[in-house]
Amino acid sequence: MRKIYLIYNPASGTNRDKRADQVKQVAQVFLAAGLELETCATTHAGSATQQAQAAAAAGFDTIIVCGGDGTFNEAMNGMVGMVGGGSQAALGVVPLGSGNLLATDLRLPANPVAAAKALLSYQPREIHPAYLTYQKKAGPQRRNFIVAAGVGADAELMYRTAAESKQRFGRAAYFIEMTRMMRSSKFPMFDVEWKDQQGQLHQDQVSLAMAMRARHFPGILSLVNLESAITRDDFRLLLFRTNKVRHFLNYFASVASGRNWKVPQVSVVFSRWFRCTGAVPNDIHCEADGEALGRLPVEAGIDDKTFRLLMPPE
C-alpha cells in the first residue's frame, strides 16, 4: 500500500450530514501513515465503476471504498471488467453503508476510523468473484458480486426497501420491510436448476434461491454459520422449496440462533452454478450485494477472472 485512491459515496448509509467529516478522518489515517492519497466522491449510480478503473489506470496501487456493499460492488466490477484483464490494484472497504456485510465478513470495526487503521495491516489476496446474468428492458446484463446474490423473495425485499428508509434506519430498514412482506401468506414460485460439487444437475421449484459467499454476519445474524467463504471458489446455495412464510421464519430462527436445526423445506448446498427461469419472469426479481438488478431468467456462477481484495493477515 503506497498510493491510495479513496472513493466515497455521499449518499450511502446513515448520518450523511457527517459524511464529509468522516471521510476527512479516514483520509487522515492514511496520510498519517505516510501514504499518498486522493479522494473522490461518487456522482451517480455506477460512477464508482469508472472511477475505480480510472484510478487503477493512473497508477494507484490501492483503492479504498468508503461506503456500503453496493458502492464496493461497483468498484469491484470496474476492476474485474478492465480491458486486458483485471487490475493489480488492491480493493479495500471502510464501512459507511446501510448493510456493510463485506466489512463485517472482513472483520473490520464498524467505526470508520478504526476500520481505516485496521486496513493498514491488511494484505491483498486474489479472489474469484461470482457473477450474475439477468434481464432488463435493454436486454441481458451481467454483474459480478462478492457477498451474496438472491433471486425471488430476497430480491423482492431489496426492491421494496426505499432509499429514504435505508438512510433513516440503516440495516434495520430491511427488517422493517421484511416484517411487512411477512403479512403475505405466500411467495411466488419459479424453476431452478443447479449443479452440485460433483457437477450433477438438479432441478427444483423454489420461492428463493440465494448464493452466499460471506462467512461472518452482523447484528442478530452474528451466530449464522453457513460454512461459506469469499476465499472459496464456490458459494453456499440456499434453496427455499416452499412459498409459506412460516417455513421462512422457521429457517431464520434456526440459523440466527446458531442451533441450525433442519428445516425440510430448505436445502443448503455447495454449488458453482445455478439458473432460474419461470412462466411469469416479470414477477421475479434478482439482487446482488444488496442492490436490486433485474428479472428472470437469471444465471449465476463463479467467474474465471480475479481481483485483489485487502484481507486480514492469515
The answer to whether residues 32 and 137 belong to one domain is: no
Better-predicted residue by pLDDT, 163 or 63: 63
Would 311 be classed as within a structural domain? Answer: no
The b/e string for 247-275 (b: 16+ C-beta within 10 A; e otherwise) is bbebbeebbbeeeeeebebbebbebbbbb
For residue 138, the domain's CATH number is 2.60.200.40
The reported pLDDT for the residue numbered 84 is 60
Vertex 300 angle, CA 297 and 306, to 5°: 145
Q: How far apart are CA 268 and CA 274, in angstroms?
A: 13
pLDDT tens digit sequence for 219-230: 888 999 999 999
Helix 112-119 to helix 19-32 angle (10° resolution) is 30
Structural domains counted in the chain: 2
Q: Which residues does 229 contact at the CB level (< 8 Å), separation at least 6? A: 213, 214, 215
The answer to whether residues 134 and 115 belong to one domain is: no
The answer to whether residues 52 and 179 belong to one domain is: no
DSSP per residue, 52-103:
HHHHHHTT-SEEEEEE-HHHHHHHHHHHHT-TTS--S-EEEEEE-SS--HHH
Name the domain boundary from 121, 149, 164.
121
Q: What is the mean pLDDT of residues 272-288?
A: 86
The answer to whether residues 137 and 117 belong to one domain is: no
The answer to whether residues 199 and 242 belong to one domain is: yes
The answer to whether residues 114 and 157 belong to one domain is: no
The reported pLDDT for the residue numbered 163 is 47
**Confidence label for 193 from pLDDT (cuts 50, 70 and 90):** very high
The reported pLDDT for the residue numbered 83 is 63
Name the domain boundary from 86, 103, 121.
121
The reported pLDDT for the residue numbered 183 is 62
The answer to whether residues 92 and 137 belong to one domain is: no
Would 101 be classed as within a structural domain? Answer: yes
Q: Cell numbers at residue 250, please?
A: 422457521
DSSP 252: H
pLDDT tens digit sequence for 43-61: 998 999 999 999 999 999 9
Question: CA dist 45 to 2, 35, 39, 51, Å?
Answer: 28, 29, 18, 12
Domain range spanning residue 201?
130-302
Q: How far apart are CA 239 and CA 287, in angstroms?
A: 15
DSSP 17: G
Q: What is the pTM of this model?
A: 0.89
**Confidence label for 277 from pLDDT (cuts 50, 70 and 90):** very high
Would 238 be classed as within a structural domain? Answer: yes
The answer to whether residues 135 and 226 belong to one domain is: yes
Would 33 be classed as within a structural domain? Answer: yes
Name the domain boundary from 91, 121, 151.
121
- Between the ranges 7-16, 105-114, 157-166, 278-287, where is the mean pLDDT highest? 105-114
Would 287 be classed as within a structural domain? Answer: yes
pLDDT tens digit sequence for 208-250: 999 999 999 988 889 999 999 999 999 999 999 999 888 988 9
Taking alpha carbons only, the member of 169, 276, 268, 218 closest to residue 69 is 218
Residue 51, Ramachandran bin (φ over 0: left; ψ between -120 and 50: alpha; else beta) = alpha
The answer to whether residues 86 and 135 belong to one domain is: no
Better-predicted residue by pLDDT, 300 or 245: 300
Would 313 be classed as within a structural domain? Answer: no
The reported pLDDT for the residue numbered 97 is 84
The answer to whether residues 204 and 158 belong to one domain is: yes
Q: What number of other Cβ atoms are within 10 A of residue 133's Cβ?
A: 17
For residue 114, the domain's CATH number is 3.40.50.10330
The answer to whether residues 150 and 273 belong to one domain is: yes
What's the start-to-end Cα distance of the chain, in Å?
17
The answer to whether residues 27 and 113 belong to one domain is: yes
Q: How far apart are CA 113 and CA 148, in angstroms?
A: 26
What percent of the chain is modeled with pLDDT above 90?
74
The reported pLDDT for the residue numbered 167 is 52
Amino acid in position 233: D
CB 191 within 8 A of CB 182: no
pLDDT tens digit sequence for 85-100: 667 899 999 999 877 9
pLDDT tens digit sequence for 126-184: 999 999 999 999 999 999 999 999 999 888 876 766 444 545 545 555 555 556 656 66
Compute the half-sphere exposure of residue 290: CA atoms within 13 Å on the CB side of its CA.
26
Would 312 be classed as within a structural domain? Answer: no
pLDDT tens digit sequence for 121-138: 999 999 999 999 999 999
Q: How far apart are CA 213 and CA 206, in angstroms?
A: 20
Q: What is the mean pLDDT of residues 299-305?
A: 97
Q: How far apart are CA 158 and CA 293, in angstroms?
A: 9
Would 160 be classed as within a structural domain? Answer: yes
Taking alpha carbons only, the member of 276, 270, 273, 269 closest to residue 302 is 273
